[in-house]
Amino acid sequence: MNPRLILLIALVVVFSVGGGALSFLYGGGITLQQAYDDNQVSIIQKTHAGNIPHNLTIKNNGSQPVVVAKGTILRSEESQDLVIIENKKISPKSNDSLQAYCIEPDQMAITGKTLKPSGTVSTEINQIISNSNPSDLENATRSQLQIWIIVEKGNVDPYTGEARAVVENKGIRYYQLREKLNTAKNSVMKQFNLTNVTLENLSSTADSSSAQTWLGDVRQWFRLNLGI
């Protein structure tokens, strides 16, 4: 049997009976949500509306490393909600840049505005993120539109907010964006075996139960530390 698999099973058994799992998982570090709740981090929008992907800065003011997980939702009362698309560990008393896709096509990103962590995206959106290549504009744009399709239940208004900014920023026409959105919708429905009805009922956020959250923490540690 694969030694890593044996280790994973052993850790799951051990952690299931104790509350000290997270301290071990993050090697003395804490999650972004924990750091935010303890006023140890600030999260700032760095790119203007229409960018794909967006960039943000997380400043760790605390004394422990902060582990940032791909799929984490960042909410803002004034700017665009985002989803982080990479895993990263931020050292104490330092800051780092991360990439993110936007979640709300009808809301525009505003540089300099603050964000806060608020749960995670659904399995479907996480899969889209995992399959995307943010360094390739065409690929990243396709992933961004697919996320919008899921969030908006297949009906994205291209004339408002971030969608409109994409048209203006990328120098394309509205009919081209509509075509890309239609292609994105067909791709999402095919990839996840959806009908129009099931797409409308598909959630864009993950189950927030403690069990699901804890298992996500376990998977996150293995990705960061063992590469599996």
Residue 2 burial by CB count (10 A; 0-12/13-18/19+): exposed, middle or buried? exposed
State the pLDDT at residue 218.
Answer: 53
- The whole-number mean pLDDT for each consecutive block of 10 residues of the chain, a chain of 228 residues, reads 50 40 57 96 96 97 96 95 97 97 95 96 97 96 98 96 94 95 97 96 76 49 51
Alpha-carbon distances, residue 203 vs 123, 162, 195, 207 (angstroms): 9, 21, 14, 9
69's tokens: 């997980």
Alpha-carbon distances, residue 205 vs 38, 151, 185 (angstroms): 24, 9, 18
State the pLDDT at residue 64.
Answer: 95
State the pLDDT at residue 170.
Answer: 86
Hey, where are the domains in the chain? 3-225
